Homo-oligomer: A and B are copies of this chain.
Amino acid sequence: MKIAILLYQEMTALDAIGPYEVLSRIPNAEVRFAAEKKGLIRTDTGFLRLSADCDLSDVSEADILLVPGGPGDRRVQQSPSVLDWIRMIHEQTRFTTSVCTGSLILGAAGLLKDLRATTHWARMEALRNLGAEPTSERVVEQGKIVTAAGVSAGIDMALRLVQKISGDDYAQGVQLGIEYDPQPPFDSGSPSKAPSHIVDLVKSLMD
């Protein structure tokens, strides 16, 4: 099972690493981290660097393609070479996936036209402008294209992929292995649940 994860400057680390932690446990998984130029990629909050061990040209096929989000998505949406690579890999994938604003990159590559898809809750309008039909579901499957909502939603999406690929027992085993039994101190993880002044605050910070 070949898994390709796109890395880029100012991406959000957890968008990639959450799903990675799950997908890398699929039997015979081979994960490759690829960037426009291989080397160290500085993530959005500025303190963490991830190693992209491959140039895009080193990766010519994948069973699963994962595109993370983050403030750097804007630059990637303007990069013909990255968008070409995504379209090329997508032709042969079993699943083409995104987390958070990674879906805006898939949209810029022309892969979401008239499809239901999701992204970070504060970026739904941008997703619509790329031709998709935004929905606030946490994980959205449209054929082989699977999009996840903001940041941490990639973990839930990856468990669903493991379920499809390796079955219910295996997926439950992976969930138990990473002890994913969430108990956040608040129930404020979506704009429909958080107090409205918190929603306004986060929205203003992201705009």
Q: Report A's interface with B, CB cutoff 8 A.
A: 12-14, 17-18, 20-21, 24-25, 29-33, 40, 45, 47-51, 53, 100, 120-121, 138-139, 149-153, 155-156, 159-160, 163, 168-169, 171-173, 175-186, 188-191, 193-195, 197-199, 201-202, 205-206
A21-B45, A49-B50, A156-B184 known, 10 other contacts, Cβ within 8 Å: A21-B151, A31-B47, A51-B51, A139-B183, A151-B179, A152-B178, A169-B197, A176-B199, A179-B190, A181-B189
B171 engages A185 (CB within 8 Å): yes
Q: Which of B21, B33, B150, B195 contacts A178 (CB 8 A)?
A: B150
Interface hub of A138, A160, A173, A195 (most chain B Cβ within 10 A): A173
Contacts of A185 in B (CB 8 A): 156, 159-160, 163, 171
**Nearest chain B CB to A40 CB, angstrom units:** 6
Q: How far is the CA of A26 from the CA of B141 in the complex (A)?
A: 34
Can you list 22 contacts pairing A with B, beta carbon distance less than 8 Å?
Answer: A14-B17, A20-B45, A24-B47, A29-B45, A31-B45, A138-B183, A149-B179, A149-B181, A151-B180, A152-B179, A153-B179, A156-B182, A173-B201, A173-B205, A175-B189, A176-B188, A176-B189, A176-B191, A176-B198, A177-B206, A180-B182, A182-B184
Contacts A176-B189, A186-B159; is A14 near B24 (CB within 8 Å)? no
Decide: A169 and B184 in contact? CB cutoff 8 A.
Answer: no
- Shortest 3 CB-CB distances between A and B: which pairs? A150-B179, A181-B189, A182-B182
